[in-house]
Amino acid sequence: MTVQGIGAALSPALGGVLAQRFGYASAFLVLGSVSTGSLALWLFFGTALKKACVVQHDITHDSHLAT
């Protein structure tokens, strides 16, 4: 969630700098590439992250580990 918030905060600044220096087309290409890369990472590693979250969830709710 933190990385998503940082990306949302920096995206307009990065897009503005790119659009001002290189034109709007480059800004759309760079930001579109970043978002496509993020989508690809999510698609490839989403199931592994989901499994890791379930394991963590089970550990935190285990009554044998409670102190």
Residue 23's SS3 state is coil
Task: Please check whether residue 14 is in contact with residue 30, taking contact to mean a CB–CB distance below 8 angstroms.
Answer: yes
The predicted pLDDT at position 65 comes to 56
- Per-residue pLDDT reduced to its tens digit, 14-64: 999 999 999 999 999 999 998 898 889 888 888 887 777 775 555 566 555
- The model's pTM is 0.62
The predicted pLDDT at position 58 comes to 54
Nearest CA to 49 out of 9, 12, 1, 10 is that of 1
